């Protein structure tokens, strides 16, 4: 199943919004996010989602139909309907593959609601971001569900589209941020989004799990820590080490090398997400404060060519894992992770140019060589 995210921001939640949430929470494959809680599904689920890419839109379509039609909801769910008092919902959405939408995400949503005139000033002469109050005016009234699917490819495309002195990526992220603020203060709107970090086509965390058998993946939550994760951290066979830039940790926690304990193997704790997500998770995980922090500062330039970073010392998850393995003395595993990352990067960039895999490419040869060893 695909990983989904139901955004429910902090604030006063009214009865209609609770009813909408109750309906969506009944879907076991949705991950509920409250305020600053971020959750990611296990890697085996992610691989299945990649193989079954049509499941994500199918789930969204199904939820939209149920939300829009109370009679259908009654027939399908019967006595199991978690929100029997929920009335008909307005259902709107945007798919990130619609890169040719002339009014951007907000123009498309306004058009679906039949309220394009309310957003006319944000569409012409130049696209501009609606503020929170404008979103409230657009979305006010009957219960509404907004589906946003495949935003990463849209934002990746948008940064190359000039809008005045900025670009469509800047305008879009501002518009979405204002939408989130508006939804936090409304009791009739539910926002459902897919394609967060684990399902982004450029995510590399799953590459580590492909190569290193002892890879564990857990959802992150500020308020509810997975008991299995706590059990793993307390397992006497492991020495947990949090991997994060040293300047963000208390000096007494920072270590410059991997501890070599013959009785315990190092257990590297990595935050698989964007830089802002990882920094937030590091700050708001007090249950990790008892462990040392390994700050990596290699001299090499990042191999990761799929996403730009503001700083050369920001590395992707797979590259950080490879560096950790190398420091722990497992050079063979480090080389395999790096080689698999190189293959992944090369294949992805070729696919974006509609060019097939070149089995004679150096990255392919290197990977075959290491895999056979």
240 vs 39, higher pLDDT: 240
CA distance 246 to 88: 52
Q: How long a stretch of residues is the chain?
A: 373
Residue predicted with more confidence, 191 or 50: 191
| CA–CA distance, 62 with 64 (Å, rounded to integer) | 5
Is pLDDT larger for residue 161 or for residue 55?
Answer: 161
Q: How distant, in Å, are the alpha carbons of 46, 61, 65 from that of 155?
A: 21, 23, 27
* 3-class state of residue 159 by DSSP: coil
Instruction: For residue 31, give the 3-state DSSP assignment.
Output: strand
What radius of gyration, in Å, describes the C-alpha atoms of the chain?
Answer: 23
Mean pLDDT of 280-302: 80
Please say if the pLDDT value at position 22 is more than 50. Answer: no
Is pTM, for the whole model, over 0.85?
Answer: no
Higher pLDDT, 302 or 277: 277
- Which residue has 């971001």 as its token pair? 129
Please indicate whether residue 46 or residue 105 has the higher confidence score (pLDDT): 105
Copy the structure tokens of residue 271.
Answer: 């935050």
Task: Using DSSP bridges, classify how beta strands 166-167 and 90-95 pair: parallel, antiparallel or unpaired.
Answer: unpaired
- Do 97 and 104 form a contact (C-beta atoms < 8 A)? no
Between 43 and 69, name the one with better pLDDT: 69
Alpha helices in 69-113 (DSSP H): 70-77, 104-112
Centroid of chain to Cα 279: 14
Q: Which tens digit of pLDDT belongs to each residue from 229-282?
A: 999 999 999 999 999 988 899 999 999 888 887 788 999 999 887 777 788 889
For residues 46 and 27, the model is more confident at: 46
Q: What is the pLDDT of residues 26-38, one digit of tens each?
A: 333 333 222 222 3
CB 302 within 8 A of CB 177: no
Condensed to tens digits (0 to 9), the pLDDT of residues 97-147 reads 888 899 999 999 999 999 999 999 999 989 999 999 999 999 999 999 999
Query: How far apart, in whole angstroms, are the C-alpha atoms of residue 240 and residue 259?
Result: 10
Question: What is residue 77's predicted lDDT score, i.e. its pLDDT?
Answer: 84
**How far lies 93's CA from each of 109, 121, 179, in Å?**
7, 21, 13
**Residues 169-202 pLDDT 10s:** 889 988 998 898 899 889 899 888 764 545 455 6
Number of H helices, E strands in the chain: 14, 11
Residue 255: what pLDDT? Answer: 92
- pLDDT category of residue 307 using cuts at 50, 70 and 90: very low
366, 339 Cβ separation under 8 angstroms: yes
b/e per residue, 67-88, with b = 16+ CB within 10 A? beebeebeeeeeeebebeebee
- What's the rounded Cα separation, in Å, for the pair 242 and 250? 12
Q: What is the DSSP letter of 264?
A: B
Question: 172 vs 347, which has greater pLDDT?
Answer: 172
Q: What is the pLDDT of residue 20?
A: 34
Render pLDDT for 196-210 as a digit per residue (tens, 0 to 9): 545 455 667 878 888
Percent helix, strand and coil across the chain, each to the nearest 5: 45, 15, 40
**With pLDDT > 70 as the criterion, what percentage of the chain qualifies?**
76
Of the ranges 11-25, 60-74, 209-223, which one carries the lowest mean pLDDT score? 11-25
How far apart, in whole angstroms, are the C-alpha atoms of residue 221 and residue 180?
19
Q: What is the three-class DSSP state of 253?
A: helix
299 contact partners, CB below 8 Å, separation of at least 6? none
The confidence score (pLDDT) of residue 308 equals: 42
For position 290, what pLDDT does the model report? 95
Lowest mean pLDDT across 22-26, 76-80, 223-227, 228-232: 22-26
Reported as a pLDDT band with limits 50, 70 and 90, residue 96 is: confident
- In this prediction, residue 351 carries a pLDDT of 66
Q: Which has the closest alpha carbon to 320: 349, 346, 294?
A: 294
Least confident of 15-24, 60-69, 141-150, 302-311: 15-24
More confident residue, 205 or 39: 205
Q: Specify burial of residue 280 (Cβ count, 10 A radius: 0-12, 13-18, 19+).
A: middle
- Residue 314 has what pLDDT? 60
Q: What is the model's pLDDT at position 294? A: 92
Q: Which two tokens stand for residue 29?
A: 């494959």
Residues 75-94, mean pLDDT to the nearest whole number: 88
What is residue 238's three-state secondary structure?
strand
CB contact at 8 A, 296 and 315? yes
Note the pLDDT tens digit of each residue in 316-330: 888 889 989 988 889
How far apart, in whole angstroms, are the C-alpha atoms of residue 31 and residue 219?
9
- Confidence band for 292, pLDDT divided at 50, 70 and 90: very high
How far apart, in whole angstroms, are the C-alpha atoms of residue 319 and residue 325? 10
């Amino acid at each position: 199943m695909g990983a989904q995210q139901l955004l429910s921001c902090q604030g006063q939640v009214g009865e209609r919004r609770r009813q909408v949430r109750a309906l969506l929470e009944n879907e076991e494959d949705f991950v509920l996010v409250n305020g600053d809680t971020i959750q990611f599904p296990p890697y085996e689920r992610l691989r299945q989602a990649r193989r079954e890419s049509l499941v994500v839109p199918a789930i969204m379509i199904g939820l939209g139909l149920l939300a829009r039609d109370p009679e259908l909801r009654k027939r399908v769910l019967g006595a199991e309907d978690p929100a029997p008092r929920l009335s008909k919902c307005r259902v709107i959405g945007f798919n990130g593959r619609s890169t040719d939408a002339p009014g951007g995400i907000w123009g498309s949503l306004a058009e679906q609601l039949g309220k394009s005139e309310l957003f006319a000033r944000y569409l012409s002469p130049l696209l501009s971001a609606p503020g929170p109050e404008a979103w409230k005016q657009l979305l006010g009234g009957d219960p509404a569900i907004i589906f946003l699917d495949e935003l990463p490819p849209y934002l990746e495309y948008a940064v190359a589209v000039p809008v005045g002195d900025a670009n469509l990526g800047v305008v879009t992220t501002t518009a979405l941020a204002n939408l989130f603020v508006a939804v936090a203060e409304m009791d009739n709107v539910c926002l459902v989004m897919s394609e967060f970090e684990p399902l982004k086509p450029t995510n590399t965390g799953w590459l580590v799990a492909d190569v290193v058998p002892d890879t564990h993946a857990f959802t992150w939550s500020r308020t509810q820590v997975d008991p299995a994760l706590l059990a793993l951290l307390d397992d006497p066979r492991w020495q947990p080490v949090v991997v994060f830039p040293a300047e963000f940790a208390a000096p007494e926690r920072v270590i410059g090398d991997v501890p070599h304990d013959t009785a315990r193997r190092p257990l590297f704790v990595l935050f698989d997400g964007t830089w802002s997500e990882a920094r937030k998770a590091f700050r708001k995980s007090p249950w990790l404060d008892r462990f040392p922090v390994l700050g990596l500062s290699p001299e090499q330039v990042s191999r990761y060519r799929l996403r730009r970073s503001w700083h050369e010392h920001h590395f992707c998850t797979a590259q950080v894992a490879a560096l950790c393995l190398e420091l722990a003395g497992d050079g063979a595993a480090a080389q395999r992770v790096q080689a698999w990352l190189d293959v992944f990067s090369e294949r992805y960039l070729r696919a974006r140019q509609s060019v097939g895999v070149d089995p004679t490419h150096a990255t392919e040869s290197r990977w075959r060589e290491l895999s056979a060893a």
